[in-house]
């Protein structure tokens, strides 16, 4: 029995190499910023691989190719609302790389909704965007009324209505320019 098990150390699987290189893994949004150690980011060094963007570090972030550093904004402007500021817990003030104003258009995407398709937090301030469904137009709204209103998972596009149709009958039918 030991002879069968003894030769297993030399076997190498593709999964092991991917795990070592973190192949295909994307960094979590705001990774490591939930630490209770005074707000400092406690991120394992194997995850950063040369990233110098730890809290209190003066070095610039140089992430590995193909991966965006979760600590630095892409451009000079602050494009994402600070999740700590939303809760009144941001200790960086003006030094923070994230936006300190409530702007719905610049809210970060909800990690749970984007990953699992649902978010159990009813008061979640983050964006719940489902790219596959939200681009499809709502067939009921296009016909004139959608019972789900703003909570509909489909896109509602406002259009100019045909005056003849609103009056009761459009002689153009399906060929109407307002269709």
Q: Give the domain ranges of the chain.
A: 1-70, 73-129, 134-175
Q: List the pLDDT tens digit at each of the 179 positions of the chain.
A: 455 555 666 677 776 766 666 544 555 554 444 444 444 444 454 444 444 444 444 445 555 555 555 555 555 567 778 888 888 888 888 888 888 887 776 777 788 887 887 888 888 878 787 665 556 788 888 787 888 887 777 778 887 888 888 888 899 988 888 77
CATH topology of domain 73-129: CCCH zinc finger (4.10.1000)
Instruction: Tell me if residue 113 falls in helix, strand or coil.
Output: helix
Place of tokens 């991120």: 43
Q: Where are the beta strands (DSSP E) in 96-157?
A: none
Q: What are phi and psi of 43, to 5 degrees?
A: -115, 135
CA dist 136 to 117, 133, 140, 143, Å?
Answer: 17, 6, 12, 14
């Amino acid at each position: 029995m030991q002879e069968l098990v003894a030769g297993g150390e030399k076997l190498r699987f593709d999964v092991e190499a991917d795990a070592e290189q973190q192949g295909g893994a994307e960094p979590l949004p705001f990774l490591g910023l939930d630490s209770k150690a005074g707000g400092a980011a406690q991120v394992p060094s194997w995850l950063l691989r040369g990233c110098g963007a730890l809290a209190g570090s003066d070095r610039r972030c140089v992430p590995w190719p193909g991966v965006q550093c979760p600590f630095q904004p892409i451009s000079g402007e602050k494009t994402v609302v600070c999740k700590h500021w939303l809760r009144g817990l941001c200790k960086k003030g003006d030094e923070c790389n994230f936006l300190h104003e409530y702007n719905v258009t610049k809210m970060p995407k909800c990690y749970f909704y984007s990953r699992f398709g649902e978010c159990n937090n009813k008061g979640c301030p983050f964006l719940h965007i489902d790219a596959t469904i939200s681009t499809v137009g709502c067939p009921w709204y296009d016909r004139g009324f959608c019972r789900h209103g703003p909570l509909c998972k489909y896109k509602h596009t406002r259009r100019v209505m045909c005056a003849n149709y609103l009056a009761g009958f459009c002689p153009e039918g399906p060929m109407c320019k307002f269709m």
